[in-house]
Structure 1
């Protein structure tokens, strides 16, 4: 779908991803907001990952993490995040669990242009986009690197989205976070303020990555989900489940 265009603003986009082979879950994000690295997304080991963008709220992320950990599905989590939220129409919310189920909401007041690309193992979402090609490029890079580790796939996706519009001012903040099944972060890197934040994140990751070599992989468990609400979410703007 083509992104909606309203007034221009800072670009921000996030890629949520999972690896069925290893059970890892994580996200990569970049923005012109220096706080984005710690307050737009979170991941729960062996459960899933969630992002709350456009108007971030760490309290929403904390609630989503609790619900993911309890085994609730994305539709139920989106419903609970949306209840009694006066800022709902100004938010982008995306939830992806380890079963490949998802829920995405883009509020009607999110400005400027906003969009999402959803697949079985990843979600790319963002706002302030000049072109839908930003998210499409991120998604294609994630898919094309299927044989790679999740953490590098997420960073490749971030780089591909950035490179669609190299003439624009570089985003100043970025982050890369991946959980393995043990509950210990495999990667937890963040750039709060830098002239070329995604390039700096790549530099940090390339220094960090050799220390991950040989780390044991844990067998993927078959987690069950709690009872979820129906997929139909009447009244939610531009939601997909």
Structure 2
């Protein structure tokens, strides 16, 4: 009942994930990313811990495919899960369990993986991949927006869509983009409106925000604060 994409931009190194579904609030439980580490979509019968644990493994240097195998090995209901992963080098992996609602599957592209279940057919993912490749010249955030919209145009979820999330991280610990539509009769139209607002109003302000490299290099106090923040992020992955 969800279609999604995880991706890395080869030009900027940005990491992102986007998803849409017929139920509410897809962003909170299905979409996960950590800057400079990777992005994961965990969907179907959702198990967020697949994403949390996969991201922990990616942080330890495990590549996407191996991380996916390791988290699935500990999963008690793998056939009801669907997962897509991209790591910080653009390596991708995906799993579609046999008990996913048909049509279900995944398709690999250039530093991206697209997956979906309860779709009208495989052409949803095929069209999404075509759009993702056709707009490589755009920012990763806009590519994800256009790709998710393309999936909806050709049928998307058989029950329609009600929520959308588009999330992108650059080099900083805060997101470069995080557009969430938790419940809407026309979520793709609302996504278009909010993305224009993001480009014109939000992004310019985000680009002015402090960067981690602005922290004084010689200050032990600030270095300790940065390390504590990093450990807190890891803790959130473990216990969110």
TM bucket, shorter chain: 0.7 to 0.9
Q: Is the 8 A contact 1:32 1:171 kept in 2?
A: yes
Where does structure 2 lack aligned partners over 5 or more consecutive residues? 212-240
| 2:198 corresponding residue in structure 1 | 208
Residue 185 of structure 1 aligns to a residue whose secondary structure is coil
Hey, what's the Cα distance between the residues in 1 that align with 2:51 and 2:189?
27
Contact 1:170–1:197, Cα closer than 8 Å, also in 2 = no
Q: Is residue 94 of structure 1 aligned with residue 84 of structure 2?
A: yes
Distance 1:103 1:165 in 2: 25
Could you say if the C-alpha distance between residues 59 and 74 of structure 1 is closer, same or farther in structure 2, counting changes exceeding 3 Å? same
Moved runs in structure 1, 4+ residues, more than 6 A? none
C-alpha RMSD of matched pairs (Å)? 2.0
What SS class does the counterpart of residue 165 from structure 1 fall into? coil
Number of aligned residue pairs: 207
Max radius of gyration: which structure? 2
Question: Could you tell me how far apart the structure 2 residues matched to 1:167 and 1:20 are?
Answer: 29
> Displacement, 1:165?
2.1
The equivalent position to 1:19 in structure 2, one of 6, 9, 33, is 9
Q: Which residue of 1 aligns with 2:109?
A: 119
Q: CA deviation at 1:51?
A: 1.3
Matched position secondary structure for 1:43: strand
Question: Residue 90 and residue 167 in structure 1: after superposition, are their counterparts in 2 closer, same or farther (change >3 A)?
Answer: closer
Distance 2:154 2:63 in 1: 33
Unaligned runs of 5+ in 1: 1-10, 219-241
- Paired residue secondary structure (1:158): helix
More RCO (CA 8 Å, sep 6+): 1
- Inter-partner Cα distance in structure 2 for 1:135 and 1:167: 11
Match of 1:39 among 15, 29, 43: 29
Distance verdict in 2 for CA 1:166–1:17, change over 3 Å: closer
Give the TM-score, by structure 1 length. 0.80
> What is residue 108 of structure 1 aligned with on the other side?
98
